Every structure is written in structure tokens, then in C-alpha cells.
Structure 1
Amino acid sequence: MSLKVSEIVSFIAISLLIGALASCGNSKPERVPEGYHINFSETSPNPKEHKRVLVISGSPRKGGNTDLLCDAFARGAKEAGGYVEKVFLADYNIGYFSEEDVQRVGKRANEAGDDVPMLVDKLVNADVIVLASPVYYMNITGQLKTFIDRTYGRYREMKDKEFFYLTACADAEESTADWAINGFRGFVMCLPNPTERGMVKATGMGRKGAVKGSQYETEAYNLGKNI
């Protein structure tokens, strides 16, 4: 039996729609692959006082828009009673992931000769982790991605953490900022029992310092107060 072209087109369209619905489900974000999981909550699943908050700035420039968002979040978190530390990754010696790092698991991860073991200790000990990066070529910066890769030896120790995301981009389209968000989630979804708490997507922020006094700076500050 032969099918008309219109019938074939309709069949393909319906198949694609069913596939899209099956892959999305009711959870967010829709791009989390099957077998991975991120919890989502605007309120803290661990409402203890004086949380240890680690802000990881993957910005290549101090005082840049993403870095200013980090500072605003830190101010809010301190006012909320958190013990806050900001790490500007460009200040540290962080080598690329290598074959040797595959063997450095658990305590052996501390054998690396650069600043990564010390920084990973901070991740393991934190209650709240803020991942921050501008959008570079539709992704997070190399500084942050290189550091994420190097957490391999101890990533299973980063369990039950709460995560916030901060990003800024020159493009006014919110969908552009989503590329960085997906970069953060690619790391977070691999950790044991993570909870995503909130994010700031500062769009249209091409000029250095443009985020100063903007709604996005306020949003980052308010997120910090909500740790």
C-alpha cells in the first residue's frame, strides 16, 4: 500500500512530537538526560544557620559583569549569615585534566602539584556552591571548564550540595544565557544528590560593569539572601 506525501509528512511530524514529549516529561530542566538527576527547590533542603558558601567566579576579568554578580550574591549571603568565600579562578594555577588525573581518585587526588587539591577541598566542605561564568562561544569559560574537569578524583564527595548559577552575556536573547546554564548543569547532574536553588541570566550586558545597578545585580543579591 502506498502512502501520499502528505500522509508521510504527517506521520513524521506526529512521531517527532511524541518523541519530544517523551523526552521532556514533567521535570526541569528538560535537557537532563535519563539516568541523571538534579533536584529543584527555591527553598533550602538544609535550612541550617551559617552555611558555608563558596562562590566560584569563572570570569576572565575582575570587575566584569559576571564577577559583579558574584559580589552581589556574596553580599546577600553574608547578610543572611553565611560564611562566604569567593574564588576567582584566574588567580590560581589550574592545569588541564590529564591521564594522570584518572588515577588520582580519593586521597590520591591531593597528589596533584597545582592549586586544584586545595580548591576541591573547598568544594567538598561547602554547603552552597555558586557557579558563575559569562557566555563564551555558547559555553562557559575555559577557566571554569578546566577546573570542573579536574574535580574528577573527588566528585563523588560533593554530595547533597545546593547550587546557584550566575551568568552574563552581551546578547539580549535569554536563550544565549541558557548555554552557560547547560554547562553548569552538565557538571552538577553528575554529582550525588544535588539541588539547584536559582539562577541569574544577565542578558544584554556587553560593556564591562554594565550590570552595576541593574535588575540583575539586585536579583543576584536577593538570591544570596535566600541561601
Structure 2
Amino acid sequence: MKRALLLLILYTFFNTACTYGQIEKPAVQKPTFNVENFLKKQILLTNSATFTGERTLDGASGFLISHNGSTFAVSAKHLLGEAGGVEPEVKITDLGKNLLEWKMSPRVVANADKETINVSAKELDFSNAKNDILLLKVTSNTFDIGVLTPNFNLPSVGDKLFMIGCPYSETGCRQNSYELKFVEFDKTEALMACEMKSSVDLAGFSGAPLVDTNGEVVGVLVSGGKEGGKSYAVATHIKEIQKIK
């Protein structure tokens, strides 16, 4: 896959919603992983945020992780701009002083008391957050939402992954899984290109998690599209959260 493919995917995605390092290690599959059992716990969340200047963000995706002994929410940084309906864009380095409120919950809420998560940008340093990933501190104390463990190791080419998301067309959706195959990595932008086993409209998937066959999160969906008759999902490698302190 050439750089033009990811550029085309990104261009197509943002109008409807580098150097690549080939990994030579053999794919390692975990056939015992049962994604249906994994999804018995709610993982996928959506966003509802208010910023200064009467700017709002409603929709797209996110999820929770355990990191450095605390619980954080993860989503896509590009949602702070036009792609998320936020205009003018909230610069990531100014998020702390512009964010008034941010809540995350499943798209279809079963229990508001247990499924509504409050998050904050306070005390986070975004000065090194150059790529398309967003980390927020969870301030809620009790909730019934699954918390993922990040896997900072890059998958091997050919590895099976699962994207957890919901298309807007499924109005009653809480979370679905979509099988992917990891095919390539852009070191410059920390982007993972993954071939989709079956096509799905990715509008609203920005910020959704990609998990491996250990149930650990490896990427954050930021784009997608078609090329050469195949459908692709593009995700920022989860390791990029380590640049946010």
C-alpha cells in the first residue's frame, strides 16, 4: 500500500463525514478470543461536549482505558474541529481553558446513572499531542462501563483486529464488532491501515477502539475509505497517548 492510499482514504473520509514501515513478524492469532463475550460489557461511548463560544460536540465515538494508575477517556482529536461540528476549532493546547463540560455515554443509554461518564482536560499537557488522538481524565467515581487495557506494541502484519462501533443508520445500536486485518503502518503520523472484512459506513466511528485478540486496545479509529475494491479503516496507534502527560 502506497502513501497515496492512506491520503486518499483520509481525504475521502473527511469529505464525507509518509513513509510506511512493513512489519515482518508472523501474525499471531488467538482463536480462543470470543468477541461476543468481550462485548457483553459496554465499551463503546459517544460524546457530548460544550465549549466556550457556544460551541458543541455531539456524536462520534470514544472509550475508556486504564493508564498510569488512572482511568482516562480516549477519542479522536480531529473532532475538536469542523469534522466534529466545532467551529471555530478548539486547539488541543487550549482545550483546558475552553472546555466547559464533556460527558460520554453509550449512544443508547440503558441506565443514565451508571452509564454517564464525566471527563476533564484539566491538568493534562497536550503540548506534544501532534497526531490524531485525544486523552481526557475521567472524573466520575462510579460507572458500569468497561475499561480497556492499552497494548502499546504494534500488531504484526496480518493480525486480526476488531473495531468496536455503531453506524448512525442503526438507531438502536449500542455496540457492534467488525473484523479487520492489520496491513501497514505510517510511522510519521502513527497511523495503522487495516483492511475491513466487510464494508460499513464509518460516519460516527471517529474515536472508536480497535482491539486485538487479547481484548486490548491498539488503535483509535480516525478515518476510512475504499481503494482497489477493498475497504479500509485507519487508526492512530494507541501508543500516542503516552505523549499526553
Give the TM interval when normalised to the shorter protein.
under 0.3
Calculate the TM-score normalised by the size of structure 1: 0.28
Which structure has the larger Rg over C-alpha atoms?
1
Q: TM-score, normalised by structure 2?
A: 0.26
Structure having the larger proportion of residues in strand: 2
Name the structure where helix makes up a greater proportion of residues: 1
